[in-house]
Amino acid sequence: MKLLILGGGFGGLRLARLLNNKPGIDITIIDRFNYHQFQPLFYQVATAALDASNISFPLRKAFHNSKNVRIRMAEIERIDTVTKQVITNEDSYSYDYLVIATGASTNFFGNKNLEQHAFPMKSTVEALQLRHKLIQNFEDALHTNDATELQRLMNIVVVGGGPTGVELSGAIAEMKKYVLPKDYPELDFSKMNIYLLEAAGKTLAAMSEQSSNNSLTYLQRLGVTVKINALLQDYDGENVTLKDGTLIPSKLVIWAAGIKGNIPAGIDPSLVARGNRIKVDAFNFVQGMNNVFAIGDIAYMEEEAFPNGHPQVAPVAIQQATLLAKNLLHLRQGKIAQPFRYNDKGAMATVGRNLAVVDVPKPKLHFGGFFAWLIWMGLHLMLILGVKNRFFVFTNWLYNYVTYDQSLRLIFKEFYRKDEVNN
């Protein structure tokens, strides 16, 4: 069986690892990067708490002793389901079975200004770019005598009150409290504002009422200005305009307000669901096909308990990959495949030091604070790939906890976006 896996993220990598060294299956993973990214901790890279290498794991290292898994670093361009080929910027690859696990990327909802000026955080490189911009703004603040420009440099706007926006604004607020005044004693940090804009009526809207309320309390306690029912209309690199006409001058807007599936060309538009996801059946077969699957963020599967599709989170990708590995082995043995049922073990988000929220569905529990924060840390440590990475993340966290400091506030100019370098 020639199995082609598109994407080495949570879903693609899990699938390949479960089929590693299984006789009779020849696997190729194609990804634009040669490493797996642990996206839940991007915000700590962006806020200089972790090094990028701590949350990235070389794909090839995961298959050092593999007889059947090969990696190709390439940009996937098109799928031809008739000739059973995937075309990349490097080569074409044929398949017997194809698994699309290309995840999701930032959705700017067609706003070109936002796309040009706001900072997304959907890859390790973007997290680094964000870190550089964040720190460079304070360096620039030291060089300006213009009070309006200074305020613009010291206002940070995070858009999107989901877990990413909440985690980011909490982490930036902690930098403001513990680190930045020591780095830049010439600046008056009482003038630094961190705005979190959320279009809906509450932060962490997908979580329980209690967790949502707790997150708001924690953010306010950290000094974040949370604006709910606040719809961003435009951002020109200098000012944020809200739908109600409010203007917020800011040189840094972080966009954490929308994602869309990375569908390679060649998928029929009739198979595309809301959020640019591919419609799949209960076995993760792309609807109407018997040799193409989609798993994880890119897959849209309706289940009784999830009539609008599953949440785009790592456990869904991991569970779908785990079942698909079993089903592919069963398929070869002529056995019956099992349909997918998502086992929702709950949701969590951290806001800052000793502050997190956790929802558990069975038994129904919602709690926050220090205990929730410990659980959040333990779970994330368990999920990070590689013993070395786990060790470094843990020691970094311990160091940061004890010293109230991080040591990664470095600016490597080459990482800047093109428009920034040109300025």
Binding site for ligand FAD (CB under 6 A): 7-12, 31-33, 39-40, 42, 75-76, 101-103, 121-122, 163-164, 262, 264, 296-298, 312-315, 317
- Nearer residue to ligand FAD within complex by CB, 33 or 394: 33
Q: How far is the CB of 101 from ligand FAD (least distance, A)?
A: 5
Q: Which two tokens stand for residue 153?
A: 């440099």
* Separation between Cα atoms, residue 183 and residue 138, nearest integer Å: 9
* 167 catalytic per annotation: yes
Q: Which residues contact 401 (CB under 8 A, 6 or more apart)?
A: 353
Q: How far is the CB of 347 from ligand FAD (least distance, A)?
A: 8
- Nearer residue to ligand FAD within complex by CB, 90 or 419: 90
* Separation between Cα atoms, residue 64 and residue 118, nearest integer Å: 39
Q: How far is the CB of 110 from ligand FAD (least distance, A)?
A: 20
CB 132 within 8 A of CB 415: yes
- Nearer residue to ligand FAD within complex by CB, 31 or 174: 31
- Nearer residue to ligand FAD within complex by CB, 123 or 213: 123
Question: Cα 404 from chain centroid?
Answer: 25
- Nearer residue to ligand FAD within complex by CB, 40 or 223: 40
- Nearer residue to ligand FAD within complex by CB, 187 or 326: 326
* Separation between Cα atoms, residue 187 and residue 8, nearest integer Å: 43
Q: Which two tokens stand for residue 75?
A: 């940009």
Q: How far is the CB of 230 from ligand FAD (least distance, A)?
A: 21
- 265 to each of 49, 80, 271, how far by Cα in Å? 37, 9, 12
* Separation between Cα atoms, residue 133 and residue 412, nearest integer Å: 10
Q: How far is the CB of 422 from ligand FAD (least distance, A)?
A: 26
Amino acid letter for position 306: F
CB 133 within 8 A of CB 119: yes
Q: How far is the CB of 223 from ligand FAD (least distance, A)?
A: 22
Q: Rounded to the nearest 10 degrees, how much is the dihedral formed by the CA atoms of 300, 302, 308, 309?
A: -40
55: left (phi > 0), else alpha (psi -120 to 50), else beta? alpha
* Separation between Cα atoms, residue 373 and residue 363, nearest integer Å: 19
- Nearer residue to ligand FAD within complex by CB, 12 or 386: 12
- Of the candidates 338, 292, 339, 318, the one whose C-alpha atom is nearest the C-alpha of residue 15 is 318
Q: How far is the CB of 208 from ligand FAD (least distance, A)?
A: 16
Written in H, E and C, the secondary structure of 169-209 is HHHHHHHHHHHHHHHCCCCCHHHCEEEEEECCCCCCCCCCH
Active site residue: 126, 167, 174, 198, which one?
Answer: 167
- Nearer residue to ligand FAD within complex by CB, 154 or 317: 317
Q: How far is the CB of 128 from ligand FAD (least distance, A)?
A: 13
* Separation between Cα atoms, residue 34 and residue 60, nearest integer Å: 7
Instruction: Name residue, tokens 């090094």.
Output: 51
Q: Which residues contact 252 (CB under 8 A, 6 or more apart)?
A: 119, 133, 134, 137, 155, 156, 157
> Could you list the active site residues?
167
